[in-house]
Every structure is written in structure tokens, then in C-alpha cells.
Structure 1
Amino acid sequence: MNLLKKQGFFNSITLYIGTALGFFNLIILFQRILTAEQIGFFVLITSVSLLYTQLAAIGFSSAITRYFPFFKTDDRKHNGFPLYVFKITLIGFLAVTVCYIFGKEFIQNYNNKDKGASLFYSYYYYIIPIALFTLWYNLAETFARTTFHNILPSFLREVLLKVMTALAVVLVYFNWINYDQFVYWYVLSNGLILLLLLFYLKKLDLIRFNKVTEKVREQSPEMIKYGLYAMLAGGSFAMIQNIDTLLLKVFSSEAMVGYYGTFFGMALVINLPAKALNTTSYQIIADAWKTEDLVKINKIYHKTSLVQFLLGCLLLIGLIANWQNILVMLKKPEYVNYYDVFIVLGLGFLFDITGGLNGAIISFSKNYKLTMYILVTAAFICVGLNVLLIPKFGMLGAAISYSATMLLLNFSYWAFLAYRYKLQPFNIQFLKLLVISIVVLIIGLLLPYLNNFFIDVPVRSLLMLFIYSILIYYFKISHDINEFINQIINKIKF
């Protein structure tokens, strides 16, 4: 197994374990130990620190990937590029921090009935160290990835941090620590994984903070310009992913953020196939653009869209049909009233993964700047929809805003690729798959509940999976899937 395949394999394993841990924390532990307000505050920590970091980094997570190969040297000094990145991003962090500190009163008083009497404002300043640790971790991880040492950084973020969080919640349950100490613990956990990563980089001597050379200074204007572009694109997407929770806090309460964040975390599972499949396809798309091999690009575009739609539909209908079992896991009776919120959010994620590699295809083309313009426009639309719909419909308004934005965003990507390059991933197979999904969902909903969570979940889920697989195979929805099933059948026969 070569280095890239090895790293891809272990990163995929880490991603699945991390997703399972995140799901367990949010759906099982949090619901039984923390209040809805406390869960909402935790969701806000994640959302605010992510946006904070996106702005403070000034796009240099992307700039490292693009420019580090030009400055990389065998003596590990790298023309002082690591120190240059540290200085630039520190300026960005200080600028955002000043705005964050002096903006507290405005944020606190803007359309808030609690007038600051909430967990978010009680722990307002704790987000600053979390954002700083996250910023430095992201930068260090990017340096590690560019030197092909990304297994441990991925493990620290996806697994260790979530294990530390789970441990803290368990300690709250046994009254060994209180919620204040839980917040301290989470801040320190972010600092711990950063220290471990820096120690790892230092031990391998991957980067050194040496004096910035003239070579780096000459490229500085170009790198800052590129970074600002990346910040607008990445910041806009982060805004789309997180603005709903922030505005729910503004227009309602942290409890509503807690409920909504839980549904969002559940629906996020639908995005898992895209994370696993897309990473391995990016390099293929990038290489195909070098020769403008549109036939190859369209082939990958179609396959990823179809497989992701197939897996996304299966996950979505499975979650919907198991709604009664999900309520058992969530335990809090308040979730019964918000079934529609989860369905709308699930559709939003399905819209997104069905687009396949549309955004990446544009990003790797000579029209890469268009991605930024589309994302910025989508972010403004998303904010406008949330401001308009949340006061009227609450959580459902936030869910509609997110899903409508994802539909519009992916439609824009699709329309450009279809018009400019005649790239089209959709065919009759998608319509067949949609009908199959609806039929299997109806069967799943009509199955009688077996009055036992541990029996009903596997029986209902496996029966739906079996019927879904049979129909997919019979109607030959995907050649790759049929080939995979044939291999399994041949092994069983053998």
C-alpha cells in the first residue's frame, strides 16, 4: 500500500469513527445529561468558533497548500514560510478578536429577550481561546498534510477531542464536575490536541520558525490576495452551514438552538458518503483538467452524483422510518413536535451530496473564481432567508432556509457546468432511484412497531436495506453497485 492509499485508508477509518463518536455524544450522552440550553450553547461554541477561525485565518489554510511547495527546502527552514504564516494569521486573529470583544454589547442587546442572561453571554469570552486553538490547529494540520503526515492530526481532531468531550459529560453525570468545569475542560481539550500536534511536528522536525526570506516577502501580496479570495469562499460556505444556529439564538433561545443542533447533527450523517467519496476524486478531477479531458470529468461527475444520491436516499429514508426509535434515543419528549424540521434538514443534505463534485469541478477549472461569487451570493441569500423565516416559523424556518440555499447553490453549479462545459450528471436512473426510495420509505413507515428499540431498529433497517438493494440491483441503477453485489453473490456461492 503506497503512502497516499495508506493515508486515505486510515483517514477514512478515522472519519467513520469520529462521526460515530460525534453521533453518540450528541444523540445519546448530551440528551441524557445536559439540558437543551446547555446543548444549544455547545452548538454555538462550534458555530461561532468556526466562523471566527475562518475570518482570522485570512484564507491561509488554503494558501499553505498552494504555496508551501514553492518555499519548501531540505533544511526544513522553508524560507521562513511557517513564521510568515504565523505572523499574518496572528494579525488576522487580533483584528477579529478586537471586533468580537467590542461587539459584545451590540450582539448581546440585538433583538434578545434575555438581554445577555444566557449561557452564551456568560461564557462569551471562552470562545476566544477555543478559536485561537482551532486556528493554530488548522494551520499546523495543513502543514502536516502538505508533508504527508496527516493521519495523527486527523485522529486528534476527529477522535481524541470527541472522546475527551464524552468523558467530560460523563463526569458531569456523576457530579464530579459541574457545567462550568465542563466548559473549562472543553477549552483545555482543544489546547491539548494543539500541543500534541505541535509536539508531533517538532519531533519529526517538519517545520521550523526561521527568519522570513526575501523570496517569501516578494510573494506576499499574491499570497494575501489569494488568501482573501479563499477566505471569502470558505467563509461564505461556513456562514451557510452555521448562520441558522446563530440567528436562532438571536430570534429565539439556546434551547431551540439545542434542538436544532441535534437535528442538524443527525442529518449530517447523510453527508458521510460524500466526505468518503469526494476526497479520493479531487485529484482525478484536477489531473483531468490539465488535459481538459471533459469526458473523464463527466464520467466521475456522474458516478459520484449517482452513488451519493443512492447512499444519501438510503440513509435519509432509514432515519425517517426509524423516527420512533430516534425519539427513544433522544429521550427528551420535546423532539416529538419537530419531526418536520429533521425531514427538511435531511433534504438539504441530500440536495448537497446529489450535486456530487460540481463545486470542486469548477474550483479546479480556469473559472475557479466563480465558486467564490456563487458562495458569497448564496451566503447573502441564506442570511436573508433566515432573517425572514425564523421569526415566523422558528426552527422550521431555519431548516427551510438551509435546504433552500443548498438547493440553489447546487443548482447554480449544475447550471454553469451544463451551459459552459456540457457536463451533465443526471439521467433517468436518478428518477428510478427516487421512485424506489419513496416505495421503500412507505414500506418502512407501514411496518408495525415491535415495541422494543433493540429489536425494531435492526429488523426495520435491515428489511428496508434488503428491499432497497434488490430494487437497485433489479433495475440496474448503478453498474458499480451491481458489480459489487455480484462479487458478494459469487463469494457466497463459492
Structure 2
Amino acid sequence: MGIVQRQGLRNTVISYFGLILGFVSTTLVLPRFLVPQQLGLTGTLSSLATLFAQVAALGFASVGIRFFPYFRNRENGHHGFLPFLVGVPLLGFAVVLGLYLLGRPTILGFYEQDAALLDTYYLWGAVFALFTLLYSLLDAYLKGLYHTAFSSFLQDVLLRVLILAGALLFAGQWLTFHGYVLWYVGVNGVLVLLLTGYIVRIGELHWRPRRAVLTVRPVRELLGVGAFTLLSSLAGSIIMYLDTLMVGAQVNLAAAGIYQIAFNISTALAIPARSLNKIAFPLLADYWKQQNMTGMAEFYRRTTRLNTLIGCFLALGIGLNLDFIYSLMRADFAQGTLVVLLLLGSRLFDGVTGVNGLLLVTSPRYRFDLIFNVSLSLLTIGLNLVLIPRLGMVGAAVAAVAAQVSINLARTWFVWHSFRMQPFTWRIPLILGIAAVAGGAAWVVPAVGSPFLTMLLRSTVLTAVYGGLVLVTGTAPEATALLQNVRKRLNM
């Protein structure tokens, strides 16, 4: 087994374990120990640091992955690629840091109710951003070297374990909340040190600058690709983090904490789609290379059907059992119930519209994906500015639904108009109908003595009705074929 296969297998195991660990810690454990305002503060610092780091990076993390093969030469220190990869973003960090410090009164002015609390940790936000920036650059360097498993372990597993450990220390009164925030920031620095140590261990810390780095590829080309990537990554980050920032600014940090937990609960719906997309990306690229439009269209329809089938089941499972999920947290977080339902609708629609984004970004018209992402960001910002002052954190969720539905409809139409491919068959409305019937059957199950027992009963009814109708109607050929194989083995 080659290095790419070994690293890929390890990454898969680490990724799935990390997703489960992340969901349990950020959704079920941290809300038991931290009040909404405290979670809102750490979430705001994390969002600010991520956006700060991405602007400072100038898109160089992606540049490192894309162009490293041209610089690869271990005997020659890869032509000084590592100091170039880190050095340019550090210059960007210095510029953004100056703007961050000068903009302190303006940024804190958005957080009128919690300005004093946020001000206490404002400079730590810059430290957090530096750690985030360095980690992303070193991670990109290791990806170019095909050493990705250790970095994935640090980010997906160790970081979450350390944050969880800090929360447990806080709950046991070994740390004050101030100490927990410094712990929360500091563990990101620990990851940078561990990643640097790993690079030293594999003998790839080539830190000596070389003039040759400026001649292997035109610097103008590197900066141009970096600028394009910066816009694309910023658009994605705005979609991911802006809601929490704007809720905190226009309502308060407590509302931001409640919204963040609601957002985390809804992310469970995105896990299957993300896993499928990891497979879909290289397959779609290969279809484009072969110009196999028929195979691509069939793949487009099949993945849409699977996303819809799994997404409807998970959305119902989460939505019907929110009382149980919130019973595991402080009572204040239950104020996010409607937010969860709205965000589940947004993520479900994103799955139902298929892999249109991946299909577009792997196509010859990939630049249009940036237009859609930027449009989604601007639409989200505009709707948040209008709706959050009127509806609070629910307004942010309504904005997310409206923006996602609008852009996904536009992107789906664009794919159809450009390539004459659309993802819908008669099975999609049938799945939605089955979901409505199964959801209704589970919803009428009365609440019993405890939220846990109610969850078990409703989940059992939902699974039996949903799974039974899917098999009887032949909605999912893959499930029918799997059942037939199981029956054959049992009859042997």
C-alpha cells in the first residue's frame, strides 16, 4: 500500500472519529458546563481568529498545496519553499494586525452589551489568529509532502480532546473562566508546536530561504492564484462564521452561544453529505477529463437521491427528538429549538439540490462557483442585517434558509442551463412523501415519562415506517439490493 493510500485510510478513520467526538463535545458536553454567554465568547473569538487568519494568509495555504510539486526537491530544501510559504502570510498578518488593533473601538462598538467582556480577550483573538494561520500553512506544507494523517489527528481529535479537558477542568473549578479561555486559545498553539516537531522528525524542516524560490514559478502567478483562493475561502468562512458574529453583535453573546449550539446540532445532517463529497470530487473531475457526460449525469442524480434519502431521515430524527437533545444541556439552550429546525431545513435543501457546487467547481466554468459563493455571502450579510434586529437569532436562521435556497436554486439552474444536467427524478418527491408520512407517524407518538424513552419510541416508529416504505416502494435500489444480499446469506 502506497503512502497516499495509507494516509487516505488513516484520514478516513480519523475524520469519522473526529466528527463523532466533535458533535458529542461541542453539542452535548460543553453546554452542560458553560453558560450561553461563555460559549458565545469563545465562539466569537474563534470566528474572528479564523477570518483574521484567512485574510492574512492571502490564499497561500491553497497555493502551497497546488504548486508544491513544482518546488519539490528534498536535497535542495524544496528551493526554500517553506520559508516563502510562511513568510509572505506573516507579512500579511502584520498588516492585518495593524488594522485589527486600529479597528478595536469599531469592532467592540458592535458588541455594546458585551464590549467589556470581549475587550478583555481582544488581544488574545490576535494570538488565536496567529496560531490558526501558522497551523494552516504547516498543514498545507505537509499535504504537499503527502503526510496528512498526523495533522488530521491533531485537528480532528487532539484539539477537541484538549478543549473538552479544559471544560472539565473548569467544571471541577481547577480553572476559572479566564483560565479556560486562555486554555482554549493556548491549545491551538500546542498544535502548532506538535506539527512543527513532526516536520522536524520526518526531516522536512527546510527553513533556509533561497533565491531560487522566486524563479521556479512566476511570483505573480502564485499571488494571483492566492488572491482568487482568498476570495473563495473568505466567502466560505463568511457563510460558516458570520451568523454567530452578527448574532453576538446585534443581540448579545448569550444569544450567539445559543445559536452556535443550535448550529452544531444541525451539522449532524451535513456529515453524510460531506463524506459523499470526498468521494464525489475526484470522480467528477475524472468524468470531466473523460468527457463522460452520461456517466456524470447519472452520478449527479444518484448522489442527489442518496443525499435526500439520508438527509430526510436524519432531519426527522433530530427534529423529533430535540426535547431529548436539549435535556442534556442547560435549560437556556432550548431557546434555540426553532433555530435548529430552520437550519435543518436549510441543510436538507442543500443536500436535495445535489452536488451542483462540486460539479460546477470541477467543470471548465469553475470560476462561476466563486460568483455563487460571493453572492451567497453578500445575501447572507444583507438578510442578517435586516432580520436579526427584528427576529433576533431566529432572524439569522431565516436568513440562512433564504440565502441557501436562493443560491442553490440559482446554481442548479446554471448547471442545467450550461451542461443540460439536472438531479431530479420521480424518486425525489416519493422520498419526500415517505418522509412526511413517517415523520407524522413518529410525531403523534405521545411523550412518556422521560425524554429518553420518548426518543426511543419515536425513533423506533420513524425507522420502521421510513425504512419499510422505502423498501416496499423501491425508492432506494441500493437498499433493496443490500437486503436481498442479506437474505441470500441468511438462507445459505
CA distance in 2, matches of 1:93, 1:489: 61
Q: Which of 134, 137, 142 does residue 136 from structure 1 map onto?
A: 134
Aligned counterparts, 1:22-171, within 5 A: 22-75=22-75, 77-110=77-110, 112-114=111-113, 116-118=115-117, 120-171=118-169
CA distance in 2, matches of 1:483, 1:443: 26
CA gap of 1:429–1:139, structure 2 versus 1, over 3 A, is same
Q: Which of 394, 407, 410 does residue 409 from structure 1 map onto?
A: 407
Name the aligned partner's letter for residue 392 of structure 1: R
CA distance in 1, matches of 2:282, 2:437: 37
CA distance in 2, matches of 1:412, 1:216: 41
CA distance in 1, matches of 2:102, 2:395: 30
1:450 aligned counterpart, secondary structure: coil
Q: Is the 8 A contact 2:443 2:458 kept in 1?
A: no
CA gap of 1:213–1:399, structure 2 versus 1, over 3 A, is same
| TM-score computed with the length of structure 1 as normaliser | 0.95
Name the aligned partner's letter for residue 71 of structure 2: F
Q: Quote the residue 2:245 is aligned against.
A: 246
| TM-score computed with the length of structure 2 as normaliser | 0.95
- How many matched pairs? 491
Q: Quote the residue 1:327 is aligned against.
A: 326
Q: Deviations over 1:255-309 (max 9, x none)?
A: 0001100000000111001111111221111122123222222222222222122
Q: Is the 8 A contact 2:68 2:144 kept in 1?
A: yes
1:477 aligned counterpart, secondary structure: coil
CA gap of 1:487–1:212, structure 2 versus 1, over 3 A, is farther
Q: Quote the residue 1:237 is aligned against.
A: 236
Q: Is the 8 A contact 1:83 1:209 kept in 2?
A: yes
CA distance in 2, matches of 1:348, 1:6: 36
Q: Is the 8 A contact 1:83 1:211 kept in 2?
A: yes
CA distance in 1, matches of 2:439, 2:481: 25
Q: Quote the residue 2:208 is aligned against.
A: 210
RMSD, aligned α-carbons: 1.9
Q: Deviations over 1:451-473 (max 9, x none)?
A: 23443333432332232222222
Mean CA deviation greater in 396-405 or 349-358: 349-358
Mean CA deviation greater in 51-60 or 225-234: 51-60
Q: Is the 8 A contact 1:76 1:207 kept in 2?
A: no
Q: Quote the residue 2:417 is aligned against.
A: 419
Q: Quote the residue 1:199 is aligned against.
A: 197
Q: Quote the residue 1:306 is aligned against.
A: 305
Q: Quote the residue 1:472 is aligned against.
A: 470
CA gap of 1:115–1:456, structure 2 versus 1, over 3 A, is closer
CA distance in 2, matches of 1:288, 1:213: 40
Aligned counterparts, 1:219-298, within 5 A: 219-298=218-297
Q: Is the 8 A contact 2:36 2:333 kept in 1?
A: no
Q: Which of 177, 180, 188 does residue 178 from structure 2 map onto?
A: 180
1:77 aligned counterpart, secondary structure: helix
* Structure 2 residue ranges without an equivalent (≥5): none
Q: Deviations over 1:70-104 (max 9, x none)?
A: 11124262122222111111112122211111111
Displacement of 1:137 after TM fit? 1.1
Q: Quote the residue 2:354 is aligned against.
A: 356
CA gap of 1:176–1:466, structure 2 versus 1, over 3 A, is same
Q: Is the 8 A contact 2:64 2:140 kept in 1?
A: yes
Displacement of 1:2 after TM fit? 5.3
CA distance in 1, matches of 2:394, 2:138: 38
Q: Is the 8 A contact 2:308 2:352 kept in 1?
A: yes
CA distance in 1, matches of 2:370, 2:176: 43
Aligned counterparts, 1:382-461, within 5 A: 382-461=380-459
Q: Deviations over 1:140-183 (max 9, x none)?
A: 11222222221111111011111101111111111111111111
